[in-house]
């Protein structure tokens, strides 16, 4: 899975930064950058930074105001003619790199640990063309925000986008490329897939549709763990999917989950080694997190779900680090590992605070307007209402310097490169050091931060304490 801005949960109209987390909070999972409570002028609370590639997900900083302002843009009918993709061009010095996230809100069956904005649907009931039409109508309505921007990456997430007709995806992708004045020569186009809905032929069709990277939800190569997680595939299907995907697609990422009851370091290490042998060059490895509004959450509250102890998560995290080091892969973000040249450009764009345009039901987008000002929107979450709407009635939240800086600290320090203080100052209109000079000084003295010119980073060996380190900066 890759980073996706999907809205949900509780929201705050005005986000200020006040982090309340415990020192021993896990940083290993896929969830909870911050839960924004629906109270006026309340600061960030319950901030846990462990969220893998879904870094601006449903629980992320990318939440929107529940009581936001509503846009009045009218949606025109989607063009019925086939699009011709605009060719890639070299980026001008003034164009702003911008990513696009497209949310596909359906899946075959919702996993018991998942609390993202998805709903199960029968394959024959999927509105393939109808959803593409709705996406293109939204894109047309947002086109006035795109001049002067360069398309750097596109990510189709969900849900399970591999259920979508590749022709509908192709039409949507062509419309996205045409909406931008400039398209990066190396534009990265990722499609999230599940082994249960991807084979070699389908991977080939996705490549023909314009994708050049697949993110595959393997989660485990042991059948007992897959059954526990409620996955629809088994080991044999997962390996066959990886074989077909790597044969057809130039870049393939796989998800692994750890922290299942009874999982050993040896089992996790075997999964990592086997996936690398299959030709996969990027892995997101994140801890199983029990979320309240899930089947696992209900079972856990009833005392019917066994979970791994905290120290076990740390052991598995450290073992994964050793395994990927042996492969000479870079641990470039808390939950992400990559071979040389295989880092996710889309994810790095999010973690560096880049602009992104969210399309689709429940999608979130955030575009910079001026130094110290950005605008974030949240789309209608219900897919049927999203497709029927005739106006761009999304919720909107204005972000000021403090919000921009707070998110930069929380997301930037998840990466091995850290936070770029100069770039953050240009985006926020003031220095991210302001008001926390002493906290930064103490963190450096204690070895929790390392300074390198205009960069500050948390050493990899301190990532297990990342939540507490970030908390102390606020």
pLDDT per residue, tens digit, the chain (474 aa), is 444 444 443 332 233 333 333 333 333 333 333 322 222 222 333 334 443 333 333 333 333 322 233 333 344 444 443 434 444 444 444 579 999 999 999 999 999 999 999 999 999 999 999 999 999 999 999 999 999 999 999 999 999 999 999 999 999 999 999 999 999 999 999 999 999 999 999 999 999 999 999 999 999 999 999 999 999 999 999 999 999 999 999 999 999 999 999 999 999 999 999 999 999 999 999 999 999 999 999 999 999 998 899 899 999 999 999 999 999 999 999 999 999 999 999 999 999 999 999 999 999 999 999 999 999 999 999 999 999 998 788 899 999 999 999 999 999 999 999 999 999 999 999 999 999 999 999 999 999 999 999 999 999 999 999 999 999 998
Residue 20 lies in a domain: no
Residue 9 lies in a domain: no
From the CB of residue 83, how many other CB atoms can be counted at a distance below 10 Å? 17
Contacts of 381 (CB under 8 A, 6+ apart): 7, 8, 105, 117, 361, 362
Residue 4 lies in a domain: no
Residue 236 lies in a domain: yes
Contacts of 80 (CB under 8 A, 6+ apart): none
DSSP 66-106: TT-EE--PBPPPPP-SPP-PPPP-PPPSSPEEEEEEEEE-E
pLDDT of residue 392: 83
Residue 455 lies in a domain: no
Residue 15 lies in a domain: no
User: Which residues constitute the domain of residue 81?
Assistant: 67-433
Residue 99 gets the label, from left (phi > 0), alpha (psi -120 to 50) or beta, of beta
Dist. CA 61–CA 44, nearest whole Å: 9
pLDDT of residue 229: 97
Number of domains observed in the structure of the chain = 1
Which residues partner with 69 through β-bridges?
A: 396
pLDDT of residue 236: 98
pLDDT of residue 94: 59
Contacts of 71 (CB under 8 A, 6+ apart): 377, 391, 392, 393, 394, 396
Residue 11 lies in a domain: no
**What CATH number is given to the structural domain containing 353?**
3.80.30.20
Residue 180 lies in a domain: yes
């Amino acid at each position: 899975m890759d980073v996706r801005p999907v809205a949900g949960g509780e929201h705050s109209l005005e986000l200020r930064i006040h982090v309340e987390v415990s020192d021993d909070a896990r940083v290993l999972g896929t969830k909870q950058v911050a839960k924004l409570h629906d109270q006026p002028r309340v600061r960030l609370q319950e901030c846990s930074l462990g969220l893998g590639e879904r870094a601006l997900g449903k629980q992320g900083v990318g939440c929107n105001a529940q009581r936001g302002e509503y846009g009045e843009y009218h949606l025109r009918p989607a063009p019925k003619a086939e699009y011709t993709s605009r060719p890639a061009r070299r980026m001008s010095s003034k164009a702003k790199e911008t990513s696009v996230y497209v949310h596909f809100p359906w899946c075959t069956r919702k996993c018991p640990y998942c609390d993202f904005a998805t709903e199960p649907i029968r394959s024959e009931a999927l509105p393939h063309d109808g959803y593409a039409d709705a996406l293109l109508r939204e894109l047309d309505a947002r086109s006035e925000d795109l001049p002067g921007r360069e398309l750097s990456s596109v990510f189709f997430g969900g849900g399970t986008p591999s259920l979508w007709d590749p022709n509908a995806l192709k039409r949507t992708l062509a419309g996205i490329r045409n909406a931008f004045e400039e398209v990066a020569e190396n534009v990265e186009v990722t499609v999230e897939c599940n082994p249960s809905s991807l084979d070699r032929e389908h991977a080939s069709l996705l490549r023909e549709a314009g994708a050049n990277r697949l993110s595959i939800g393997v989660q485990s190569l042991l059948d007992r763990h897959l059954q526990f997680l409620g996955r629809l595939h088994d080991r044999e299907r997962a390996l066959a999917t990886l074989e077909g995907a790597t044969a057809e697609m130039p870049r393939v990422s796989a998800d692994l989950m750890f922290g299942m009851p009874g999982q050993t370091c040896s089992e996790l290490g075997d999964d990592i080694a086997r996936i690398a042998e299959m030709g996969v060059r990027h892995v997101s490895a994140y801890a199983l997190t029990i979320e309240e509004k899930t089947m696992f959450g209900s079972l856990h509250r009833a005392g019917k779900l066994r979970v791994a102890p905290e120290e076990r998560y740390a052991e598995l995290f450290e073992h994964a680090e050793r395994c990927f080091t042996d492969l000479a892969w870079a641990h470039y973000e808390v939950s992400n590992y990559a071979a040389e040249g295989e880092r996710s450009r889309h994810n790095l764009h999010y973690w560096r605070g880049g602009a992104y345009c969210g399309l689709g039901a429940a999608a979130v987008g955030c575009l910079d307007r001026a130094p110290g000002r950005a605008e974030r929107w949240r789309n209608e979450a219900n897919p049927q209402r999203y497709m029927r709407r005739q106006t761009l009635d999304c919720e909107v939240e204005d972000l000021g310097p403090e919000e921009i800086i707070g998110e930069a600290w929380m997301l930037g320090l998840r990466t091995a490169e850290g936070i770029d203080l100069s770039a953050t100052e240009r985006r926020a209109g003031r220095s991210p050091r302001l008001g926390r000079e002493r906290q930064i000084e103490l963190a450096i003295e204690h070895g929790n931060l390392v300074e390198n010119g205009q960069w500050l980073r948390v050493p990899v060996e301190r990532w297990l304490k990342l939540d507490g380190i970030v908390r102390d900066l606020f």
